[in-house]
Amino acid sequence: MKAWIKYLPGYFLVFVLISGVFAQDIPVNDNSDFTGIYQGKINNTPAILEIDVYDDEFDGDIEAGEEEFALEGVISGNKVSGAWYDEKSEEGRKFTAILKGDNLTIVLHNAGKKKEFHFYRQTQAQEQEPGETGNVSIGDRRLIGVWAKQEIISSGGATVASQVFLYINSDGTFRYGDARTMAGGANWSGSVGGSETTSGRWRSKNGVFQVMLDGTSQWIPLAKYYLQPGKLLFNGFDGSRELWYRQY
């Protein structure tokens, strides 16, 4: 089932998010021992670490005061290696981690130096539901920004070019749409802009971009995503691929 759908009324191309999709539980393998919420400290600041696992992929989000960090890595037994990110840089830096029971040791590498931090997994009774705190981690902050993609369709001597925008905001909200469409033929041309938009909340989990549409309470896993400088690729679970370009 497609998460992004498009239709062509006349010569105008409009993009919308499908709203009738229900999120499915994401299966995990034996490496799911890492999954949970951990407490610790980052530079003497109390910190919360939330970890999710998909197959052998590790996805962690740390909140320490006003600072946020994202961890992405690959699990091998009780060890993880990968890259960590913060708000100051889009470039990943190396991290390693090892889990012994409920004790997790994380080593962050930065500028030739490394720091070791210790976290302890909370029991189920201690864990908070996301709705109980106003400071829920959104995941990969490299996604934040304004993105655009363009499609061109030619038929019967007419050409339609449409540019649609995806606003991924730092407060965990998103807006999709605001399409600008231009159409033309041999002796005519026209344009239209400001189409309807779809909005809600977003997050990333295990390399999957998810949204919760306004007026709903269900997270929808839309696609796996891959980031390159200035580019964002969505690989939809229906086999579709979308390439977006960063505007700012």
**Hunting for tokens 């500028």 — which residue is that?**
111
Superfamily (CATH) of domain 31-137: Calycin beta-barrel core domain (2.40.128.20)
Give the start-to-end residue ranges of the domains of the chain.
4-18+142-246, 31-137
Provide the pLDDT for residue 6: 36
Q: What's the chain's average pLDDT?
A: 76
Contact 232, 221 (CB under 8 A): no
Residues 6+ apart with CB under 8 A from 89: none
Indicate the range of 29-33, 119-123, 204-208 predicted with least confidence. Answer: 29-33
- Quick one: average pLDDT of 20-35? 46
The pLDDT of residue 203: 92
With 70 as the cut, is the pLDDT of residue 31 above it?
no
Fold of 4-18+142-246: Lipocalin (2.40.128)
Nearest partner of 34 among 119, 94, 155, judged by Cα? 119
